[in-house]
């Protein structure tokens, strides 16, 4: 039996997971609440919180999996992309543990791991498939030919869609993290109440900077005549913004499916937890005759289970790393 311990520390979640022969045995996540009062992730505070959490999180993951350190055949970690200080904590811990146990070290690309989260439990996509990977820092359409053979065929040219959600929340004076709150209010509002422009980009690429600006100007204009406009219309504003962002995402995804002829369609990343996006993708999937794959909520946001799954595939191929390896905050796909 091949048992791998995986560590995720790219941003503000400290996570550890254990996988044996491709079967997940544990997945522990410690979320950092310290950032809420600052309205966003503070890198230095994130690094310190990772240092505090990593040992108890790893111990709990091993305990839940009912394995000891001597049972481990490899140690995996997120090399990038992410915050340098946060990545350093996970990488240093993984390197030291692998060296001490004399087992291989496996580096994992965070965004590729989001795609491979679909293999944690069945049903799994059939290769080749398209994956819309959406998070606070990334918006990508990925052509997945095999577990370790992926290509970005479309991506944002400026802001990520997660940023658009978070910036909208900030403009509406919603607390951090604002994306889930926009989703919550949107469920009670009219998505056609306020029309916002759709950004047009060539090919399969996205742009979300324009809609952020249009939302800002829209709110400034409305609040001149009615200072209570946001409070009185928050559900409709959230629903309209969410409707526009989802429309932009799915238009490009449909275009990618038509261009490639692929009907196996998946979503991944933190924004894939958005209820509006999940519902709209299922609806489009029925119309387009796609087979749609949506991960469980706990595998959408950052977690070590997806790192473990990616490491499982790399272990099979014998793709191991040297002890001289360093984190890469802007790691290329």
- The whole-angstrom separation of Cα 272 and Cα 281 is 10
Residue 330: inside a domain: no
- pLDDT tier for residue 301 given thresholds of 50, 70 and 90: very high
The helix/strand count (H/E) of the chain reads as 9, 10
Per-residue model confidence (pLDDT) at position 128? 98
**Residue 183 labelled as part of a binding site:** yes
* CA-closest candidate to residue 198, choices 156, 232, 157, 245: 245
Q: How many domains does the chain have?
A: 2
**Residue 137 labelled as part of a binding site:** yes
Per-residue model confidence (pLDDT) at position 52? 95
Per-residue model confidence (pLDDT) at position 43? 86
- pLDDT tier for residue 67 given thresholds of 50, 70 and 90: very high
**Residue 270 labelled as part of a binding site:** no
**Residue 115 labelled as part of a binding site:** no
Per-residue model confidence (pLDDT) at position 33? 76
CB-side neighbour CA atoms (13 Å) of 272:
30
What CATH number is given to the structural domain containing 162?
A: 3.30.420.40
Question: Percentage of residues in the chain with pLDDT exceeding 70?
Answer: 100
**Residue 179 labelled as part of a binding site:** yes
**Residue 263 labelled as part of a binding site:** no
Residues 308-322 pLDDT 10s: 999 999 999 999 999
Q: Are 168 and 241 in contact (CB under 8 A)?
A: yes
- Same domain for 52 and 137, yes or no, is no
**Residue 149 labelled as part of a binding site:** no
Parallel, antiparallel or unpaired: strands 291-293 and 129-134: unpaired
* Beta-carbon count within 10 A of 332 CB: 8
How far the first Cα of the chain sits from its last, in Å, is 30
**Residue 41 labelled as part of a binding site:** no
**Residue 110 labelled as part of a binding site:** yes
Q: Is the pLDDT of residue 97 over 90?
A: yes
Average pLDDT taken over every residue of the chain? 95
Q: What is the pTM of this model?
A: 0.95
- Same domain for 25 and 96, yes or no, is yes
**Residue 133 labelled as part of a binding site:** yes
Per-residue model confidence (pLDDT) at position 250? 97
- Same domain for 34 and 86, yes or no, is yes
Per-residue model confidence (pLDDT) at position 215? 94
* CA-closest candidate to residue 215, choices 233, 201, 82: 233
- pLDDT tier for residue 280 given thresholds of 50, 70 and 90: very high
- Same domain for 92 and 153, yes or no, is no
Q: Is the pLDDT of residue 328 over 80?
A: yes
**Residue 236 labelled as part of a binding site:** no
**Residue 134 labelled as part of a binding site:** yes
Residues 117-143 pLDDT 10s: 999 999 999 999 999 999 888 999 999
Domain range for 242: 124-295
């Amino acid at each position: 039996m091949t048992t791998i311990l995986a560590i995720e520390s790219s941003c503000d979640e400290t996570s550890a997971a254990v996988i044996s022969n491709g079967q997940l045995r544990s997945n522990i996540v410690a979320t950092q609440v310290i950032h809420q009062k600052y309205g966003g992730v503070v890198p230095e505070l994130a690094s310190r919180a990772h240092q505090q959490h990593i040992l108890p999180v790893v111990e709990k993951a091993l305990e839940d999996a009912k394995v000891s350190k001597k049972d481990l055949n490899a140690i995996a970690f997120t090399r990038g992309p992410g915050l340098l200080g946060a990545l350093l904590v996970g990488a240093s811990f993984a390197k030291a543990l692998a060296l001490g146990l004399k087992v291989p070290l496996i580096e994992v690309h965070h965004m590729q791991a989001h795609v491979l989260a679909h293999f944690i439990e069945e049903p799994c996509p059939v290769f080749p498939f398209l994956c819309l990977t959406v998070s606070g820092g990334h918006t990508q359409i990925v052509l997945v030919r095999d577990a370790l053979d992926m290509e970005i065929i479309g991506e944002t040219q400026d802001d990520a869609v997660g940023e658009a959600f978070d910036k909208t929340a900030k403009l509406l004076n919603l607390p951090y993290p604002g994306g889930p709150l926009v989703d919550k209010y949107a469920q009670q509002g009219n998505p056609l109440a306020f029309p916002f422009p759709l950004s047009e980009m060539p090919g399969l690429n996205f742009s979300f900077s324009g809609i952020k600006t249009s939302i800002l100007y829209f709110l400034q204009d409305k609040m001149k005549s009615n200072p209570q406009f946001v409070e009185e219309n928050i559900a409709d504003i959230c629903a309209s913004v969410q409707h526009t962002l989802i429309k932009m995402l799915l238009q490009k995804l449909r275009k990618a499916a038509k261009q490639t002829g692929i009907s196996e369609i998946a979503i991944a990343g933190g924004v894939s937890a958005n209820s509006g996006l999940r519902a709209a993708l299922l609806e489009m999937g029925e119309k387009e005759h796609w087979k749609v794959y949506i991960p469980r909520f706990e595998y959408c946001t950052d977690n070590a289970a997806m790192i473990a799954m990616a490491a499982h595939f790399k272990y099979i191929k014998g793709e191991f790393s040297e002890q001289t390896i360093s984190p890469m905050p802007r790691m290329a796909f």
